[in-house]
Structure 1
Amino acid sequence: MKPSEGFLNSMREAMMVLRTRGPTAATEVIQRALRGDPSRPAAGGAEAQARTLPPTAKRAQAPLPLRSKVSLDAEDRSHFDTLTYSNAAGRRQYRLYVPATATSEPMPLIVMLHGCTQSADDFAAGTQMNSLADQHRCLVAYPMQPRQANPSKCWNWFKPGDQRRECGEPSLIAGITREIIARHPVDPARVYIAGMSAGGAMAAVLVDQYPELYAAAGIHSGLPARCAHDLPSALAAMKGGNPSQTLTLESPQRPLIVFHGDADGTVDVANAARIVRAFGMPTQRSRETRGPGSGLRDWTVTRLLSGEGVEAELWTVHGAPHAWAGGDARGSYTDPAGPNASAEMLRFFLDHPIHHHR
């Protein structure tokens, strides 16, 4: 039986998606074709998202910024590779996205730490950071936490052995970062780290312990560095307890941009304010209102400046659950109704190269 033109088109699409977004997304395209439904997005990502979102968020679909400006030829020249890094603490695989726009000129590097139960491909699809990397000529790395290290694939941000410089998981993530810098044309003044949930909590640890390596950090639905020392204290911190744990934090050394939904039932929104507490009093606060009936969320941006001149932004997304604001429904734990956290983080990062605060 001769394959239909629609099926062949789907196979061509799958090959292109395999090169640009990885095997998980390509598998979804193939499964769609086998169901005889090449025109409708696969349900897996949307179903995973629907479990975390209220009805208004499920209806809203935020457009991907400027995606149409990246040609198919450019997508064909990009690549998303799986690599492995090892040191005395163990080994971790990571995915590295190299945009089609890459040249020999030094580029920014963004290190993205996924949340519990997520994978690198899932996180890349949900945040759409690779699309932004195409537009702004950045490398994007996604370290991968295996089940052997944590049954839910969470970064172990709450374990003392994984909270210190050159120990445990921080040493592995920093090692991955240094390996990419050594092997690719990376601008060492523009290396950044971001994460979601447990990944956000680990990003807070990394920027605190390696201020010479990371110029700034983006923390989405996360927690302050070293706010817990075991699983019970981690659960208490996630529910908004342990406020005294953050009072001993030193003055921040690097800029932070923090996103958190104030309806987050997994990590209490109180943690967002605790992350930026060391920056001192806000210098500016503004609220963005999307309008009733729009299906989109309102948010408040609070800008802070430490006594040493280090900047922070706190984005509180009103009514949002435990999900990446403005994310794509192809990834889990995404909230398309919110502001575009990926675009705002990248904007903040590129405004803060490391030499601004040396």
Structure 2
Amino acid sequence: MHRRGVALSRSLFVLTVLLVLSTGAPAYAGSWVHGNYVGAWGARGYQLWVPTGYQPGTPRPLLVALHGCLQNPDQFAGLTRLNEKADAEGFLILYPNQATFVNATQCWNFMLGNNQERGTGEPSLIVGMVELMKQRYSVDARRVYVGGVSAGGVLTTTLMSCYSDVFAAGMVGAGAMYKAATTVSGTAFAMLFGSIYSPDDKGKDAWVCSGRPRRTVPVLVVHGTEDSVVNPLNGEQAVKQFLQTSDYGDDGVANDSVKGTPTSTRTLSVPGGRTYVVKDYVYGGELVAQKYEIRGMDHAWPGGNASYPFADPAGPDATTFMWDFFKQHTLDLP
């Protein structure tokens, strides 16, 4: 009877753990949590990485990581090695998962109108997930970041533009500026040739979307010079758009107080790998924008794990310099 009791207790313990993980309830220390979020605009699955050493009651930064087309959270995590970085630096990672029933290739539908505004569409679902994580985990609301690649990079620009009161900074990898395209056909053109819209105009649209906040919107843009999927011009437009957004954000006026020219430019190389150019844009002592141009790189994540598609191991480690950029920024909260 004692052995049966022990076996039953173990079975109940395993069942409890499985139930906790399947419902997205809190788990601790170096583990995945799977869940689903349901909001007014539908439902999406997500995966949360809880880093080694996590302790309830100790606020941690949260990174929202948005995969690209033909990817899922597991693949994006493997490509970027973000979970290893999270374990080393002590931050949580939320990986929203695009559903195949809304896009068969798992692209985020960034070009649709309801996904380009505050309070609607896919952005509202992702922000809803963020709020859920704040309720269930010890999240430092001043240090919530968002970064993505390709379609995830473009959706990142909407989240940064329309929820600048939620995200302290963002990273746009192989993506495009806010509202670079507003139709499916326009998206195809923008990806091939760059957006037909003015970055200055979209910079103002972004400032308005968050409710005309009085703050800069720090952005890191990463793009390969030989990107055959998303024209590198899109990366340049994304930098200009957010600099214009920050120009409005610092004093409410477009007066070039945040200038569109880099304050420093340096050329570096990976030993045995690619050369890359880093452009910094500093305003008031703050690095409000930074651009990495990876020479010779196609549509990829620089420094990524070669076991996964869309990796360019010869490039600099984007995961490291992304987190180094984020660590410099916190959100001023009321």
TM-score, normalised to structure 1's length? 0.75
Q: Who is 1:282 aligned against?
A: 262
Whether the aligned pair in 1 keeps the contact of 2:216 and 2:288 (CA below 8 Å) is: no
Q: Larger relative CO (CA 8 A, sep 6+): 1 or 2? A: 1
* Deviation readout 1:152-186 (Å, 9 max, x if unpaired): 11001111111111101010011111111111000
* Deviation readout 1:86-107 (Å, 9 max, x if unpaired): 1110000000000111123100
- The answer to whether the aligner puts 1:202 opposite 2:179 as a matched pair is no
- The answer to whether the aligner puts 1:80 opposite 2:32 as a matched pair is yes
* Deviation readout 1:215-251 (Å, 9 max, x if unpaired): 0001100010111111110111111233434230226
Q: Give the % identical residues.
A: 33
From 162, 165, 169, the counterpart of 2:122: 169
* Deviation readout 1:25-61 (Å, 9 max, x if unpaired): xxxxxxxxxxxxxxxxxxxxxxxxxxxxxxxxxxxxx
Deviant stretches of 4+, over 6 Å: none
Per the TM alignment, residue 325 of structure 1 is displaced from its structure 2 partner at its CA by 0.6
Q: Who is 1:73 aligned against?
A: none
- The answer to whether the aligner puts 1:190 opposite 2:143 as a matched pair is yes
SS in 1 for 2:325: helix
Q: Who is 2:62 aligned against?
A: 109
Matched residue pairs, number?
281
Check 1:212–1:123 CA distance in 2 against 1; reply closer, same or farther (3 A cut).
Answer: same
From 148, 151, 168, the counterpart of 2:104: 151
From 271, 279, 285, the counterpart of 2:234: 271
Whether the aligned pair in 2 keeps the contact of 1:123 and 1:332 (CA below 8 Å) is: no
Structure 2: gaps of 5 or more residues: 1-27, 208-214, 244-259
* Deviation readout 1:103-149 (Å, 9 max, x if unpaired): 23100000000000101100000011100000010000100001111
Whole-Å separation in 2 of the counterparts to 1:350 and 1:225? 23
Equivalent residue runs for 1:249-260 within 5 Å = 249-250=203-204, 253-260=216-223
Matched to 1:304, the amino acid is Y
Alignment root-mean-square deviation, CA: 2.1
Matched to 1:210, the amino acid is Y
From 285, 299, 304, the counterpart of 2:281: 304
Check 1:182–1:266 CA distance in 2 against 1; reply closer, same or farther (3 A cut).
Answer: same
Whether the aligned pair in 2 keeps the contact of 1:262 and 1:318 (CA below 8 Å) is: yes
* Deviation readout 1:276-305 (Å, 9 max, x if unpaired): 1142111111000346xx2x1000000113
SS in 2 for 1:282: coil
- The answer to whether the aligner puts 1:240 opposite 2:240 as a matched pair is no
Whole-Å separation in 2 of the counterparts to 1:324 and 1:339? 9
- The answer to whether the aligner puts 1:315 opposite 2:281 as a matched pair is no
Check 1:244–1:77 CA distance in 2 against 1; reply closer, same or farther (3 A cut).
Answer: closer
Q: Who is 1:213 aligned against?
A: 166
Q: Who is 2:179 aligned against?
A: 226
* Deviation readout 1:252-299 (Å, 9 max, x if unpaired): 8311111100010000111111011142111111000346xx2x1000
Whole-Å separation in 1 of the counterparts to 2:162 and 2:284? 20
Whole-Å separation in 1 of the counterparts to 2:29 and 2:67? 25
